[in-house]
């Protein structure tokens, strides 16, 4: 199975490399980019597999020559080594009078204040929504679009509005109905 996977990898590398040159020769840049990415991915995969194979073989050789011999007293020395049990030294009682406790307290306080501000914003937004929308609609009526259209409709032009009948750009804008009415 290993030989088959190596064979497939090498064939894929050779094929993608050949197609890369073919697509570059034909000036098909999008295909060349895609095949180039496939070529690099295959190359990286094969190189990684080769390195891992070498490391595994070196590890097997080292284990076979060294066996299971441990240095004398290694386990006892590991068990006798001091273990640090307090991961946050700044929380120890003797260091509480210093200012480096200020940063975590400040961050926690900021989190609490942000939560309170979010809650106040939600309550205020839900209670003032109806009145705000009505006032906004009233304020926006001054800048609203006019009720009548800015360009005369097809019906108005066809009804005989003589002042617009001679405007060729307006006839082009209105389309075939306006050009048929003039003829």
Task: Give per-residue pLDDT as tens, 73-106.
Answer: 777 887 888 777 766 666 666 665 666 666 677 7
Asked if the structure places residue 135 within a domain, the reply is: no
Question: d(Cα 53, Cα 69) in Å, to the nearest integer?
Answer: 25
- Predicted local confidence at residue 42, as pLDDT: 92
Asked if the structure places residue 46 within a domain, the reply is: yes
Asked if the structure places residue 110 within a domain, the reply is: no
More reliable by pLDDT, 140 or 181:
140
- Predicted local confidence at residue 148, as pLDDT: 67
Asked if the structure places residue 109 within a domain, the reply is: no
pTM of the complete model: 0.35
Question: d(Cα 67, Cα 179) in Å, to the nearest integer?
Answer: 99
Question: d(Cα 125, Cα 122) in Å, to the nearest integer?
Answer: 5
142 falls in which pLDDT band (50, 70, 90)?
confident
- Predicted local confidence at residue 31, as pLDDT: 85
Asked if the structure places residue 8 within a domain, the reply is: yes
Asked if the structure places residue 163 within a domain, the reply is: yes
Summarize the confidence of residues 133-158 as an average pLDDT. 76
Question: d(Cα 14, Cα 29) in Å, to the nearest integer?
Answer: 19
**Structural domain total, the chain:** 2
Report whether 119 contacts 143 (CB < 8 A): no
Query: Residue 157 belongs to what domain range?
Result: 151-183
Asked whether the predicted pLDDT for residue 62 surpasses 90, the reply is no
For residue 113 the two structure tokens come to 């204040």
Asked if the structure places residue 183 within a domain, the reply is: yes
Asked if the structure places residue 16 within a domain, the reply is: yes
């Amino acid at each position: 199975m290993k030989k088959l996977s190596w064979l497939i990898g090498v064939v894929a590398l050779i094929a993608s490399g050949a197609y890369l040159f073919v697509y570059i020769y034909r000036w098909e840049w999008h295909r060349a980019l895609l095949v180039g990415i496939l070529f690099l991915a295959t190359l990286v995969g094969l190189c990684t597999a080769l390195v891992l194979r070498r490391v595994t073989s070196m590890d097997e050789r080292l284990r076979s020559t060294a066996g299971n011999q441990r240095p004398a007293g290694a386990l006892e020395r590991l068990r006798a080594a001091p273990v640090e049990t307090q991961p946050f030294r700044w929380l120890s009682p003797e260091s509480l009078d210093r200012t480096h406790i200020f940063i975590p307290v400040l961050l926690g306080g900021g989190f609490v204040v942000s939560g309170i501000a979010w809650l106040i914003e939600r309550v205020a937004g839900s209670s003032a929504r109806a009145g705000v929308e009505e006032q906004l609609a009233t304020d926006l009526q001054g800048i609203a679009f006019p009720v009548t259209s800015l360009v005369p409709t097809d019906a108005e032009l066809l009804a005989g509005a003589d002042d617009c009948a001679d405007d060729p750009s307006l006839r082009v804008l209105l389309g075939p109905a306006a050009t048929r009415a003039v003829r």
